[in-house]
Amino acid sequence: MSTVRWGIVGLGAIAHGVAGDFQFVPGAELVAVASRSKAKAQEFAARHGARHAYGSYRELLESSEVDVVYISTPHPHHRDVALAAIENGKSVLVEKPFTATLAGAQQVVDAARANGVFAMEAMWTRFQPVVAAAREVVAWGRIGEVIAVQGDLYAARDYDPGHRLFEKDLGGGAILDLGVYVVNFAQAFLGDIRSVDCLTRLYPTGVEKAASINLGHTGGGMSSLACGFDGPGPGRMTIVGTKGWIEVEPRFHHPTTISVHRAGVLPRIIEARPTGGGYSHEFAEVTQRIVEGSLESPTMPLHDTLEVMRVLESCLRQAGITHSEAKVDLG
């Protein structure tokens, strides 16, 4: 396979940012886009140079011109679109959170494995160059054994009932939208989770304004995390080790700078800027894995997606919130 042909389903704001990064990914080409509005798809395709614009999801998912589908629909729509793509032999990159429920995530993972196609959650943070540098610092033992992760991700938003961020039926709330970042980061550096303690503040629509999440990890580490829409915050992460710590400078989910601190040693500053808008790195990962015939990414494996989704669902359950997967009209 000389060129991996990409399609995008769901043409909201994030899709525009993503589409501009394909130019930075060798061996990848954006060839098709799909929306429920043909006019919207045509406008998007013209803007980003895609050859095909479809007015239904099904047309793209069944197209022989597409090898892999990036799915950026609302959270509860991810499962049905991903399952349909997989049934048609397409690999999938599914925007975070992978699905609205753990059961839905397991269905997608099982289908991908059964059909022998690549699948990955689009957690771009893990592929940012400076986050990769932080993993190397840890692997080299510079801060000793990692024992704790502390951090937050606040993104102040005016309350707007009806907007997807605040509507339960659209998978709204801080836990699925922002909590996925903080929990994923902690799990990446400390491993799986044995205990979850979550406190929340809720909007009148019944979804979370904010959440405080404390995790106990199976290896003995601990995480103290927070996220929310009802105020600003630095968006900083600290990785604590037995011999030092790493500060991931704001905003940690797409950072450019880390500082490595050790007792008696001046901090070491590491800077590494992403290519393009920062999405290119996860798209390069998927493209490479598909070319080599892999079914998962070692950097963002499906096990980690399921583990993070399990924790998020536990947080939601403690808040008395239950999400469900939507039945999607593919057209």
Nearest Cα neighbor of 159 from 169, 170, 171, 173 is 173
Give DSSP secondary structure letters for 217-254. ETTS-EEEEEEESSS-----EEEEESSEEEEEPSSTTS
Query: Mean pLDDT throughout 101-114?
Result: 98
The per-residue pLDDT for 1 is 67
The per-residue pLDDT for 2 is 81
The per-residue pLDDT for 188 is 98
Which amino acid appears at position 108 of this protein? V
- Where does CATH 3.40.50.720 sit in the chain? 4-124
- Where does CATH 3.30.360.10 sit in the chain? 129-271
pLDDT digits (tens, 9 = 90+) for 50-89: 999 999 999 999 999 999 999 999 999 999 999 999 999 9
pLDDT digits (tens, 9 = 90+) for 190-222: 999 999 999 999 999 999 999 999 999 999 999
Contact 315, 102 (CB under 8 A): no
Rounded to two decimals, the pTM is: 0.97
Distance CA 328, CA 171 (A): 14
Write the CB contacts of 150 (distance below 8 Å, at least 6 apart in sequence).
223, 224, 225, 237, 238, 240
Nearest Cα neighbor of 56 from 290, 272, 330 is 330
Nearest Cα neighbor of 40 from 70, 78, 13, 71 is 13
Contact 283, 21 (CB under 8 A): yes
Options 3.30.360.10, 3.30.450.20, 2.60.40.1180, 3.40.50.150; which CATH number does 129-271 get? 3.30.360.10
Nearest Cα neighbor of 217 from 241, 242, 199, 190 is 190
The per-residue pLDDT for 290 is 98
Distance CA 183, CA 149 (A): 10
3-class SS at 44?
A: helix
Nearest Cα neighbor of 253 from 231, 230, 225 is 225
What's the CATH class of domain 4-124? Answer: alpha beta
Contact 200, 319 (CB under 8 A): yes
Distance CA 211, CA 228 (A): 6
The per-residue pLDDT for 69 is 98
To the nearest whole percent, how much of the chain has pLDDT over 90? Answer: 98
> CA 200 → CA 19, 285, 321, distances in Å?
35, 35, 11
First to last CA, the chain: 30
